[in-house]
Chains A and B, each alone.
Chain A
Amino acid sequence: MTITRRDLALGSLSALAASSLARPALAQGEPIRIGWLAALTGPSSAPGVGFNRGVIYAAEAINAAGGVKGRKVEIITRDTQGDPTKAVNATQEMISQAKVHAIWGPTNSGESLAVTAIMARAKMPNIHPCVVDSLIDTKRYPNAFRIAPSNSQWDDAVRGYCLNILKTKKVAVIGDTTGYGVSALKASVAAFQKDGAQVVYQSNIDSTQPDMTPDMLRARNAGAEAIVVWSVSTGMDARLFNTRASLGWDVPFVGHPSMASGEIAGLLARPANWEKVYAIGYRSCSYDDKGALPPHTQELVDRLAGKVQLDDTLLWWVAAAVDAVNLVAEAVAAGGSSGEAIIRHWNGLTKHQGYYGTYTFTPENHDGYPTEDVVMSAANTAKNGTFALAPGYV
C-alpha cells in the first residue's frame, strides 16, 4: 500500500487531534505536584523539620479523603540545607523537570531572596512564610504570596504591645550586628519615634559579646521602661536576661520570637531570669489563662494527636504547612491546576480560615496574615509548641 501526501496529512491531523483530546483526560488524572523547598538538614533545620511534618500530614489527609477531584497530591521535596545556592538549583529543577503546579517555601528569607525572581519569571505560584518585606511585591512578583507576618507586621505587634498594653513611653531598642539585626533596629526605632514614643537607648551588639552589662546599664541609666530586642541569637538573649537579673532590674523584654526558643533554658543562670520576657507569637497558637487554645486550633491538635509529634517543635510551623498544602489543593479544586488559575484563586481569598491564620489576598496585597493575630507570648511557657498569651490580652 502506498501512502499519499493526502493520507499523511490526514493521519497527522488525526494524531494531533487525538493527542490534544487526550490531554485534558491526562490532566484530570495526573497528581497535583507541590514543590516543597525545605531546609531539612544543616544548621538551621529546626523550622524545616516542623514545617515538613505539617506538609506530610496535610498531603496524606487529602489523599486519604480521595484527593482533589480524584487527583492525588504529590509532594516533591528537595532539601536545600538552608543554602540559597541549593535552593536556586532545586527551584529550577522543580520548574523545568518536575513541572510542579505550585511551590511551598523556601522557609527562610535568605533562600527566598535568591529564588523569588526565578519563580516570578516562570509564573510559578509560590506561597511562603518568610518575613523580609521586599519578598512580597505584587508588581514584580505577582506569583508570590506570604502566609506569615512580614517584618513590618512583627514590628507593629511589638510596638503595639509596648505602647498600648505595657503603656511604656520610653524604650530601649537592641539588635545584633547581623544585617537583619541592624535593619530591624533601624525600622523599629523609626516606627517608635513616629508613634511618639521616646527611644532612650539604641544599640547593635555583637551577639558573641560575653558581657551585656555595659549596654544594660546604659539602657537603665537612660530610663528605659521596656527593652525591645531584634536578634536571632539565643546566646545574646540569654546573656541579656541574666544581666538584667544580676542588675536587680525588672524591665520587660519584648521582641523577636527567638527569645522563646527552648535552647535559652539551658543558658540561664536561674529559670526565673526568663520571667517578663514577651516574644512574638500568634493568637492561633497561643493558649489563654485557662490553658485553652482557640477551638479551631484545638481541632487541628486533636487531629494531629498520635500522628505528628509536637513536643519538640512549634505548632505554628506545622499549622502553616498544613494551610499551605490546603491552599494549593483548594485552588486546584476551584479552578484547575494551571499557574494562572491557582494565582487567580488566591487573589480572591477573603478571610479564608486556615489553622495558622485567617488569610486575605487581593491582586494588590499578597501579605495575607492579619496583623491583629500577631501577639506577644510569655516566652517561658512553651507547651507542645504553643505558648501562653502575654499578660494584657483578652
Chain B
Amino acid sequence: MLASILASGLAVGAVYALIGITYNTMFATSRVMSFTAGQLGMLGGVLGSLFMLELDLPLVLALPLTLAACALIGVATEFVAVRPVLKSLDQHLYVLSTLAVALIIQQLTALGWGTEPRPFPRLLDLGSGMGDEKYWLPVATCAVTIFGLEYLYRRTLVGRAFIAVAEDNFAACALGLPERNLRIASYALAGAVGALAGFSGGQLLLAFFANGPLLNFYGFIPVALGGLGNNRGAVIGGLALGLFQQAANFTVGGIFSSVMVFTMFIAILLVAPQGLFGSPSTRRV
C-alpha cells in the first residue's frame, strides 16, 4: 500500500506541480491567472497520442511537435484572452476570457478527438510494477523542468528579463525591456510546460478531453499552497497534494478523498492565506 501511495501519489503530484508551474509562468509576466493551464496539460496528452499512435511519429519528433503546438496555443491565449483585459486587471475580466478560451479548447478537442479516453503510448518502455515509467516519468520531467527554469531565470539574460518584468513591470519597461515580447515568450514557455505535464503523465491520465478541468482544478491547489508565482512552492505543494490525495483514496476512498483534499486546502489557506511558501503582499499606505 505504501509503495502504491508513493509511486502513484508522487506521479500525479508531479503532474499537478507542472500545471502549477504553468499557472505561475503565465502569471509572472502578466499578473493574470490563466485558466487555460489545465487544458494545455490535456492537450499534451491528446497531441502526444495523436502524433505517436495515430500518425506513427517517433518520440523525438512527437515531443517537440507537441511542445510547439501547445506553445502556439499559449501565445494565442495571450493575444486573445489576456492582452485585451490587461488594462482592467482590477475587474478580473481575465477569469472570464481565459475560461472562455479553455472551454473552446475543450469543446474543439471533444469534437475533433472524441469524448472517450484513448490510449497513450509507452515512451521508453522501461520498468514494471511500481517502478513502471508511467510513475517515475512525470517526477523526472518535473525535476528537469524545475532545474531548467531555475537555470533560465538565474543564469540567462532572457530569464533575468522575465524576473525583472515579474518584479516590476513599469520599471522594466522604463529600462527598455521589451515587456510585450517577454510576455508572449512566457506564454509560449507556459504552453510548453503544460504540454510536458500532459505528455509525461499521458500513460496515467490517458489522452482524454475531460482531463482539462481536472488539471485546472488540482493544478491550482499547488499554486495556492506554494504561494503565487513561487515555482519551488508549486513543486512541493503539488507533490504533497498528490501524496495526500492518494493516501486519502486508500483511507477514505471515492468522492470522500476529494472532500479531504479540499478540507486540507481550505484549512491551510486559513492558517497561511499567502500560501506556505509565499510572502505576505505589502501595500503602500
Contact = CB atoms under 8 A, between A and B. Distances in A.
Contacts of B83: none
A43 B107 CA distance: 9
B210 A211 contact: no
Contacts of A218: 250, 253
B4 A267 contact: no
18 contacts: A43-B110, A43-B111, A177-B255, A203-B253, A206-B214, A206-B258, A208-B210, A210-B201, A211-B12, A211-B246, A214-B4, A217-B250, A218-B250, A218-B253, A234-B117, A246-B129, A263-B116, A267-B118
A43 B114 contact: yes
A235 B249 contact: no
Contacts of B278: none
B27 to A, nearest CB: 25
A43 B115 contact: yes
Contacts of A246: 129
Contacts of B206: 235, 267
Interface in A9-48: 42-44
Interface string A200-211: 000111111111
A122 B253 CA distance: 47
A217 B253 CA distance: 11
Interface in B1-43: 1, 4, 8, 11-12
Nearest to A268: B119
Nearest to A235: B117
A213 B8 contact: yes
Contacts of B116: 234-235, 261, 263
Majority secondary structure of chain B interface residues (helix, strand, loop or mixed): helix
Contact of B254 (A43, A44, A215, A238): A215
How many of chain B's residues touch chain A, expressed as a range? 20 to 34
Given A208-B210, A210-B204, A234-B117, 18 more contacts: A42-B111, A206-B254, A206-B255, A207-B210, A208-B205, A208-B211, A209-B249, A210-B11, A211-B8, A211-B249, A214-B246, A214-B249, A214-B253, A215-B253, A218-B253, A238-B117, A263-B116, A266-B118
B79 to A, nearest CB: 28
B254 A267 contact: no
A314 B11 CA distance: 38
B208 interface: yes
A266 B119 contact: yes
Contacts of B111: 42-43
A207 B117 CA distance: 10
A43 B106 CA distance: 12
Contact of B255 (A204, A214, A267): A204
B119 A213 contact: no
Between B118, B214, B254, the greatest number of chain A beta carbons within 10 A of the residue's beta carbon is seen for B254
A218 B249 CA distance: 10
Interface in A174-211: 177, 203-211
Contacts of B211: 208
B254 A210 contact: no
B146 to A, nearest CB: 21
A211 B204 contact: yes
A38 to B, nearest CB: 17
A267 B114 CA distance: 15
Contact of A210 (B12, B118, B210, B258): B12
A106 B1 CA distance: 46
